[in-house]
Amino acid sequence: MSHPHALWTSMLPADATFTQDRIAVAAAGHRVEFADGSTRLCATSGLWNVPLGFGNPAITEAVSRATHDASYLTLFRAPHRYAEVAAEALIELADPSRYRRVIFCTSGGAANDAAMKLARQYWSQKAAGSRSLVVGLKGSYHGTMYGSHALSGDDLLQSVYSVDRRSVRHVSHSDGGEELETLLKREGARVASVVVEPVLGSGAHALSDAFVDRLLALREEYGFLIVADEVATGFGRTGTMLATAAWAAAPDVLILSKALTNGAMAAAALLVSSRVASEFSRGGWTFVHGETQAGTPACAAAIVAVIDELRRIDVESTTQALATELRDLATSLKSEGLIAEVTGRGCFLGLVLRDRDEGSLSGPDVLRVVSAIADNGVLVQPGPSSIELIPAYGFTADELLEMDTAVRAGLAQAEAVRA
């Protein structure tokens, strides 16, 4: 009888076991090497984390220097220069007219927890506790920390874990904001913040312009904070440096992670607007949030190196060109009847899989498709009834062709098994 390894992997049944061709041992460029000696092209950018390629030398060298010169410095009750420089670089990147302060965290989930706390404290100290509700979107994913787990709109066993959702609400994003407006008419005076992903990580569903416009207008009417979770979309993924850069007005809080360090370090950041930061400064309020490994010298050095690399490759023109090729590839799959629909934006696309019964494909069915594509040499991301293509920004024409070939072969292989 086979027994699971001591390592307990994420998001799979606890009895899962893995053959040598599924155990990663190294990664370089856009490829992952496995214990049996095989390699696969990674079309997920290491789960959005590595858009600049595995082992990017500029980033690894920056991290190495920081670990040598200052192996650890804390942000508890004191600053350090590395974090100050990284914070200034992030504000400059995101637009100083939109954001003023940076709070470092260790993950997107932890950053979402921090953003919920920040919004609730803002209203508690500004308006005597009148607002505590946080509104998220149905089908969203913000992490599995206790707060972010409550905020995530997917069914992730929240009831099993006794996750407290009493102060959380969820609304649709596909109705142009109708459900959000209805909620606000009823409970607007209690809503502290509305949290949105510009492109939902689960299924790669992009918010419509109509929804964003209504969200901004409703903020003007009801006063709540807007938190934009750009953990997946930040740093050029959708064709602009930030997906929210195209919005007519800025969010009040912007959350970044994943590509923030090109996957080199566990890091996230909240970029806080003047509206929020100035109230905390004016009132002398203490934000009670701290993470031991947040904003360490190595994390900060990686962030600065990533920003330099993004500018070096002219990330917006690079990703816009890649996005055109990626969309052409996906559109061909749809026109040939191999997939049902294309979702997403830029270099972050979802391919909705066909189901012979015209229903939603089950999670295990999607994982079988992902596994079949992996058998053909390419790693893709599963989504609800879909697979997602999230290539690194340096993908070549040959790598795009390799991805296309593997997706086609994997879809055919999975269909043959089901037939």
Give the other-Cβ count within 10 Å of 3's Cβ: 7
* Cα distance between residue 210 and residue 215, in whole Å: 9
| Segment 88-116 mean pLDDT | 97
Domain count, the chain: 2
* Cα distance between residue 104 and residue 114, in whole Å: 10
Q: Is residue 154 part of a domain?
A: yes
Residues 177 and 62 in one domain: yes
Q: Is residue 15 part of a domain?
A: no
Residues 94 and 206 in one domain: yes
Q: Is residue 214 part of a domain?
A: yes
> Residue 302 belongs to what domain range?
57-312
Q: Is residue 50 part of a domain?
A: no
| Segment 351-376 mean pLDDT | 86
| Segment 334-359 mean pLDDT | 90
Cβ distance 273 to 252 under 8 Å? Answer: yes
Q: Is residue 360 part of a domain?
A: yes
Residues 281 and 339 in one domain: no
Contacts of 163 by beta carbon, 8 Å cutoff, 6+ apart: 146, 149, 150
Residues 113 and 185 in one domain: yes
Residues 240 and 384 in one domain: no
Residues 307 and 319 in one domain: no
Residues 174 and 303 in one domain: yes
Q: E strands, 253-335, where? A: 253-256, 268-272
Per-residue confidence (pLDDT) for residue 2, from 0 to 100: 61
* Cα distance between residue 26 and residue 145, in whole Å: 28
pTM of structure: 0.95
114-136 per-residue burial string, b: 16 or more CB within 10 A, e: under 16 = bbbebbbbbbeebeeeebbbbbb
Last residue of a domain, one of 266, 295, 312: 312
Residues 152 and 268 in one domain: yes
- pLDDT tens for 376-409 read 999 999 999 999 999 999 999 999 999 999 999 9
Confidence of residue 203 (pLDDT cuts 50, 70, 90): confident
Please report, for the domain that includes residue 129, its CATH number: 3.40.640.10
* Cα distance between residue 413 and residue 370, in whole Å: 11
Per-residue confidence (pLDDT) for residue 361, from 0 to 100: 75
Q: Is residue 166 part of a domain?
A: yes
Q: Is residue 329 part of a domain?
A: yes
Q: Lowest mean pLDDT: which of 122-131, 232-241, 243-252, 272-281? A: 122-131
Last residue of a domain, one of 285, 312, 339: 312
Q: Is residue 4 part of a domain?
A: no
Burial of 80 by CB count in 10 Å (0-12 exposed, 13-18 middle, 19+ buried)? middle
Please report, for the domain that includes residue 322, its CATH number: 3.90.1150.10
Per-residue confidence (pLDDT) for residue 6, from 0 to 100: 92
Confidence of residue 360 (pLDDT cuts 50, 70, 90): low
Last residue of a domain, one of 312, 335, 367: 312
- pLDDT tens for 300-329 read 999 999 999 999 999 999 999 999 999 999
Residues 233 and 381 in one domain: no
Per-residue confidence (pLDDT) for residue 354, from 0 to 100: 83
Residues 361 and 300 in one domain: no
- pLDDT tens for 155-184 read 888 988 889 899 999 999 999 999 999 999
Report the candidate in 398, 308, 395 with the shortest Cα–Cα distance to residue 346. 395
Confidence of residue 127 (pLDDT cuts 50, 70, 90): confident
Residues 172 and 291 in one domain: yes
Residues 185 and 99 in one domain: yes
* Cα distance between residue 255 and residue 233, in whole Å: 10
Per-residue confidence (pLDDT) for residue 356, from 0 to 100: 64
